[in-house]
Amino acid sequence: MAAQRDVERICYVTMAPDLGTLAKQHIASGGMAVTLRPRASGPIIDFHDDGRAVEVLPAFEVPTAIDGMAMYNVQNAMFAVAISQGLGQSFAQIRAGLKSLDCSHADTPGRLDFFDGFPFLVVLDYAHNPTEFSEVSAALAQLDCSGRHIVAFTSPGNRTDRQIDDLAATAAQSAYDHYICFRRDELRRRGPSEVSERLHDGLLSSGVKAEQITVVSPEEDAVKAALDMARPGDIVALLYTDHDHVWNLLTADQLPA
């Protein structure tokens, strides 16, 4: 792909500890790259250009990385470094920007969006495909939790049957204690309960026990079911919801009775 691009410069971004042959060659030839340098106390984000390396900041100082639990946000930060440098931002500006971004509804609505108004933790995230679901679930699994992990999740209706099945299989591998399958209000040519029922069947075929699954098709009802089910010490993940609407419901206590 790089050889076919008619651009002035290319920046490689890699999290591989050994950089990989292509990135090594690119850096050695004076190319631009963002890398993750291993260190005992946590990896360092470095920026390479014209044969020189600049230490940008320790990866775990990025608040959205949650002390390394959300490594995909470290990767996002590395791309932000590359893009910001391309736009002419200084390293001081880049460091300040990355350190100012937190996992909150104000900064990252719908992305590891933590809500603390209950005796259990509620997290909203827009995860709606297997990769996102897996990454978010892996991060949540590392949080202190004295209770259960409960997830309410769905898929966009315009995904193929295979894609919805893959999401269910990924969810099953993430080993939640209870699954609530629902649908978004925007059906996208699916039947009213088609997506939620397909996810239910996919979980069953992937080895999840029937008593661990609840199907509540409307989104608001699914959110209420998850909150009603939760107990102190639990973690409730609300994945691929209308996060602004659900956040407003949580803060205004307007969930349906």
Q: What is the pLDDT of residue 9?
A: 87
Residues of the chain with CATH 3.90.190.20: 113-252
pLDDT (tens digit per residue) in 106-163: 999 999 999 988 999 999 999 999 999 999 999 999 999 999 999 999 999 999 999 9
Residue 33 to residue 11: CA distance in whole angstroms: 5
Strand, helix or coil for residue 162: helix
Q: What is the spatial distance between Cα 26 and Cα 107, in angstroms, rounded to a whole number?
A: 34
Q: What is the mean pLDDT of the chain?
A: 93
Residue 168 has pLDDT above 90, yes or no: yes
Which has more confidence, 7 or 121? 121
- Give the pLDDT confidence of 17-73 residue by residue, as tens digits: 888 888 899 999 999 999 999 999 999 999 999 999 999 999 999 999 999 999 999
Q: Is the pLDDT reported for residue 254 higher than 80?
A: no
Q: How far apart are CA 142 and CA 160, in angstroms?
A: 31
Considering only residues 241 and 168, tell me which one the structure prediction assigns the higher pLDDT: 168
Would you say residue 253 has pLDDT above 80? no
Phi, psi (degrees; rounded to nearest 5) at 41: -90, 0
Taking alpha carbons only, the member of 183, 174, 179, 160 closest to residue 132 is: 174
The correct CATH number of 113-252 out of 3.90.190.20, 3.40.50.1000, 3.40.1080.10, 3.40.50.2300 is 3.90.190.20
Per-residue pLDDT at 160: 95
pLDDT of residue 52: 95
The rounded Cα 155 to chain-centroid distance in angstroms is 15
- Is the model's pLDDT at 256 over the cut of 80? no
